[in-house]
Amino acid sequence: MKQLQGRDLLSIADLTSDELYYLLHLASEFKSGKLSIQCKKVLGLLFYKASTRTRVSFSVAMYQLGGQVMDLNPSVTQVVRGEPIQDTARVLDRYLDILAVRTFKQEDLETFAEYAQIPIINALSDLEHPCQILADFMTIEENFGQLKDITLTYLGDGNNVAHSLIIGGALVGMKIRIATPVGYEPLPSVVEKARKIGGDITITNNPLEAIQGSQVLYTDVWASMGQEDLANDRIPIFQPYQINNMALAVSDPQAIVLHCLPAHRGEEITEEVMECQQSKIWDQAENRMHAQKALLSSLLGLS
């Protein structure tokens, strides 16, 4: 699908439904070994936040595509000394073929995209985590053979992952239920955007109601990166939204459990559920690499 070549991915909403499904198909082709590509491209990783899965999956994906990776740690670049984003973007544009940025403000990603001609990928911002959702949907499709009309319930903080699930779910026809404590709901603007696409979105403060009959149970940490000082205060507020055996009991009998990781076992998810047969968390983590490979090869015009 050559129309993806040279584009940015700052939000899951940057994709059409057909393009999202194309990336999932491509990821499956890479995972099965049916597709192999060799290139001489260079991916830059500029991460202002800590990362395990995103950093490693992008790196391995690029290496397996035959390219190279430059890990541009902000602490050892001029970024740490206050070089403006627009200057950094224009210089990296002359050296790299593609750049993945993990940052706080969505506006910073938009500045990179404005001043660099190479594709810019949102490797996580406070607003969205589009690359995670590609792996999530790949995992769901592997287990149910489809995405349309699948009901996914997300329990916890209405954060960046919840935002991308809401929009991505609208693109593929999934039913998305978001259950959060009062005051922690996802941004109304994101929900409105998804509903304009045609999304079936439910926002509720009742976790038990949201879980009923759901085929996918999904959670994330209760305090995102940069909010660690709030973690202890949030535990009693979020406790009713934990994924545990009781939650599994009222969901669909064939339900699967997902978590974008890292997990705080005993908080948002119990040890038993993390390790149970219905947990597809490790498949989900592996699929980050395959989804990243599909995304990189598409934006670089290799597939």
* Active site (catalytic) residues: 102, 129, 132, 220, 260, 288
* Ramachandran sector of residue 183 (left: φ over 0; alpha: ψ -120 to 50; beta: rest): left
Q: How far is CA 167 from CA 10, 89, 97, 223, in A?
A: 13, 28, 28, 22
Rounded CA separation 52/174 (Å): 28
The arrangement of strands across the sheet holding 200-204 comes to 200-204, 175-179, 151-155, 216-219, 256-259
Residue 69 DSSP code: E
For residue 82 the two structure tokens come to 């206050």
Q: Counting beta carbons within 10 angstroms of the beta carbon of residue 79, is it exposed (0 to 12), middle (13 to 18) or buried (19 or more)? A: middle
SS3 43: strand
Residue 127 DSSP code: S
Q: Is 213:157 a contact under the CB 8 Å cutoff?
A: no
Rounded CA separation 227/208 (Å): 26
